[in-house]
């Protein structure tokens, strides 16, 4: 695809929207949207059956009997998810049929496991994390519905490129404000609004993806073509790179001041991946990775001098020597990591069965370590199934990226898909000792409202993008 033909429509995307819509309504539909939606409905019913079975098994395993305490909530969630399905039939009939069932299944299995932990601690009502998670899920799905209804064309988002950038910065730094910011465990990433805790950084991954996509679409040509060569690497002009660099530095400050390694890593990874896809500069991607690894080592080294960074060094030590008694016994040590590993090993190949393991031994077994809890009770087989679900989810997002004819949609789909992939990798990689533990939560599974809301909005955006991709006029320029 020639660069010229891309840049032009992107800049004038908004005015042409109406024209495109009119055109597609005239073109006879070659695809069979009903079939896509019927496939989705079938998969949704299947996902629901699995989730209901999981809940029943949890009750049988942990309580030895079945009760209907969650039935009302289950029905409510079911109605909402099918609401999304109906909304898709009306507003995005060509949307991808796999994304919604996968999100539903992951969300449901997560609730089952959170409920299982609640049973162990005897929590019920609003004390129960599962009840709160269900309410959050309802809210998240409503947000997704709203996005589907109000964002009829993803290119409208491109208009808000710089606004998104600004919102990202605000979201990232709100928790540092004195009154509403609260520190949870060691990381200062939460805000308190009345009774609700919210982690605004989760939403920022979406606004950042929008910002990067919009900005890179405008500047990718100058970023790729113009620049100064230093040591065989072409560096972009300051005015091209400026806004991105500023944002990047700001987000990296998160690591320092909010003590949140995972989120910093997530933003950084998103940035590197998107700039690589937009410009095709492998050298920048490599530079980015080198900067990350080097930065991590530097921070690790500095941590002895700057007490504030001590947590980073601790994370490294826990990662490298989790079984050393010094690590295992110390506060902020590897106790949680090792208990998670014990849990996974205890599950083995087939797992203990839902409700029959001891995942509650691991601290925060229902949020940060929910994956270890699921691994214990569902075994390696369950772990593979969950990983496969994530993989299909990301693959669907990338598929939208491949098929998309407009660069903004392409970059946005890739960015959203990659952020889910990276978050999954960082969380589960931390639990399985591929990388140091960082403190992100598994998308859709873990207890936590902000993460659910963010991920369901991603679902809505991907559904919207996939519908547009299938309806787009086939470009002849490429």
Partner 1 sequence: MNRELRRLSLVVLLMFIALFVASSTIQVGFADQLNADSRNTRAVNDAYNVQRGSIIVGGKPIVQSTPTSDRFKWQRTYSEGPLYSAVTGYLAVNGSATGIEGAMNQQLSGTSNADFFTRVKNVITGKHPQGNSVELTIDPVAQRAAYEALGNKQGAVVVEEPSTGKILALVSTPSFDPNQLAVHDNATYLANYNRLKDAEGDPLVNKAITDLNPPGSTFKPVVSSAAFETGKFTPNSELPNPSGLQLPGSSLVIHNDTGAACQGDNGGNVSILNAQVWSCNIPFAQLGAKLGSSTIKSQAEAFGFNHEFSIPMPVSVSKYPGYDDQAELMQSAFGQQSDLATALQICMDSAGIANDGVVMQPNLVQSVITPDLDRQQEFQKQEFGRATSAQTAQTVTQMMVKGVDQGTGTNAKISGVSVAGKTGTAQNGDNQPYTLWFTGFAPADDPKFAVAVVVEDGGGLGQSGSGNSVAAPIARQVLEAVLNK
| Site residues for partner 1 per CB under 8 A | 1, 273, 276-278, 280, 323, 328, 338, 341-350, 353, 357-358, 361, 375, 379-380, 383-384, 387, 390-391, 394-395, 398, 401-402, 407, 410-411, 414, 418, 421-422, 424-425, 428-429, 432-434
- State the minimum distance, in angstroms, from the CB of residue 211 to partner 1: 18
Q: How many CB atoms lie within 10 A of CB 363?
A: 12
> What sign does the CA torsion over 248, 249, 251, 256 have?
positive
- How far CA 150 is from CA of 87, 88, 146, 207, 430, in Å, comes to 11, 12, 6, 16, 37
The b/e string for 312-341 (b: 16+ C-beta within 10 A; e otherwise) is bbbbbbbbeebeeeebbeeeebbbbbbbbb
Q: Bridge-partner residues for 198, per DSSP?
A: 191
- State the minimum distance, in angstroms, from the CB of residue 12 to partner 1: 20
Q: Which residues fall within 8 angstroms of residue 41, CB to CB, at 6 or more apart?
A: 85
- State the minimum distance, in angstroms, from the CB of residue 353 to partner 1: 6
User: Among residues 227 and 429, whose Cβ is nearest to partner 1?
Assistant: 429
| Residue 421: DSSP 8-state | H
Q: Phi/psi class of residue 475: alpha, beta or left (left: φ > 0; alpha: ψ in -120 to 50)?
A: beta
The b/e string for 247-280 (b: 16+ C-beta within 10 A; e otherwise) is bbeebbebbeebbbbbbbbbbbbbbbbbbbbbbe
- State the minimum distance, in angstroms, from the CB of residue 383 to partner 1: 5
User: Among residues 175 and 343, whose Cβ is nearest to partner 1?
Assistant: 343
- How far CA 473 is from CA of 24, 374, 404, 429, 478, in Å, comes to 7, 44, 10, 41, 13
- State the minimum distance, in angstroms, from the CB of residue 18 to partner 1: 26
- State the minimum distance, in angstroms, from the CB of residue 185 to partner 1: 22
- State the minimum distance, in angstroms, from the CB of residue 291 to partner 1: 17
For residues 85 and 38, give the distance between their C-alpha atoms in angstroms, rounded to a whole number: 10
Question: Contact 381/349 with Cβ under 8 angstroms?
Answer: yes
- State the minimum distance, in angstroms, from the CB of residue 396 to partner 1: 12
User: Among residues 347 and 448, whose Cβ is nearest to partner 1?
Assistant: 347
For residues 413 and 394, give the distance between their C-alpha atoms in angstroms, rounded to a whole number: 10
User: Among residues 126 and 402, whose Cβ is nearest to partner 1?
Assistant: 402
User: Among residues 302 and 380, whose Cβ is nearest to partner 1?
Assistant: 380
Question: Contact 446/368 with Cβ under 8 angstroms?
Answer: yes
Question: Contact 43/101 with Cβ under 8 angstroms?
Answer: yes
User: Among residues 341 and 457, whose Cβ is nearest to partner 1?
Assistant: 341
User: Among residues 110 and 347, whose Cβ is nearest to partner 1?
Assistant: 347
Q: Bridge-partner residues for 191, per DSSP?
A: 181, 198
Tokens 């809505």 correspond to 460
For residues 31 and 28, give the distance between their C-alpha atoms in angstroms, rounded to a whole number: 9
User: Among residues 311 and 390, whose Cβ is nearest to partner 1?
Assistant: 390
User: Among residues 119 and 147, whose Cβ is nearest to partner 1?
Assistant: 119
For residues 455 and 444, give the distance between their C-alpha atoms in angstroms, rounded to a whole number: 7
- State the minimum distance, in angstroms, from the CB of residue 48 to partner 1: 24
- State the minimum distance, in angstroms, from the CB of residue 345 to partner 1: 3
User: Among residues 250 and 380, whose Cβ is nearest to partner 1?
Assistant: 380
């Amino acid at each position: 695809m020639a660069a010229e033909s891309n840049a032009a429509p992107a800049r004038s995307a908004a005015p042409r929207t109406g024209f495109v819509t009119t055109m597609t309504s005239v073109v006879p539909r070659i695809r069979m949207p009903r079939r896509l939606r019927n496939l989705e409905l079938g998969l949704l019913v299947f996902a629901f059956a699995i989730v209901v079975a999981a809940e029943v098994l949890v009750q049988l395993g942990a309580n030895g009997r079945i009760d209907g305490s969650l039935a009302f909530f289950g029905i409510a969630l079911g109605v909402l998810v099918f609401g999304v399905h109906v909304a898709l039939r009306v507003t995005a009939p060509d949307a991808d049929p796999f994304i919604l069932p996968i999100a539903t299944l992951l969300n449901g299995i997560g609730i089952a496991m959170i409920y299982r932990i609640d049973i162990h601690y005897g929590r019920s009502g609003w004390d129960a994390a599962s009840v709160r998670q269900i309410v959050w899920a309802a809210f998240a799905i409503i947000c997704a519905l709203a996005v589907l209804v109000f964002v009829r064309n993803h290119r409208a988002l491109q208009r808000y490129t710089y606004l998104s950038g600004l919102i990202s910065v605000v979201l990232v730094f709100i928790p540092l404000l004195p009154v509403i910011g609260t520190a949870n465990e060691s990381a200062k990433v939460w805000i308190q609004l009345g009774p609700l805790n919210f982690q605004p950084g989760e939403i920022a991954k979406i606004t950042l993806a929008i910002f990067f996509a919009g900005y890179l679409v405008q500047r990718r040509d100058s970023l790729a073509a113009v620049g100064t060569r230093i040591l065989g690497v072409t560096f972009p002009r300051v005015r091209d790179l400026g806004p991105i660099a500023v944002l990047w530095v700001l987000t990296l400050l998160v690591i320092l001041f909010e003590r949140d390694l995972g989120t910093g890593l997530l933003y950084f990874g998103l940035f590197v991946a998107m700039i690589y896809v937009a410009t095709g500069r492998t050298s920048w991607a490599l530079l980015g990775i080198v900067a990350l690894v080097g930065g991590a080592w530097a921070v690790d080294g500095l941590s002895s001098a700057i007490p504030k960074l001590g947590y980073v060094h601790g994370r490294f030590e826990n990662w490298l020597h989790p079984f050393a008694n010094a690590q295992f016994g110390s506060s902020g040590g590897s106790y949680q990591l090792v208990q998670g590993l014990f849990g996974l090993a205890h599950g083995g190949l087939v797992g203990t069965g839902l409700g029959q393991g001891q995942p509650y031994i691991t601290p925060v077994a229902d949020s940060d370590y929910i994956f270890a809890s699921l691994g214990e009770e569902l075994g390696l087989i369950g772990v593979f199934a969950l990983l496969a679900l994530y993989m299909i989810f990301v693959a669907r997002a990338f598929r939208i990226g491949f098929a998309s004819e407009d660069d903004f949609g392409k970059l946005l789909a890739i960015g959203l898909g990659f952020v889910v992939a990276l978050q999954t990798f960082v969380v589960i990689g931390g639990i399985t000792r591929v990388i140091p533990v960082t403190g992100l939560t598994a998308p859709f599974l873990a207890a936590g409202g902000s993460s659910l809301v963010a991920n369901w909005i991603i679902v809505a955006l991907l559904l919207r993008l996939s519908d547009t991709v299938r309806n787009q006029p086939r470009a002849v320029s490429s």
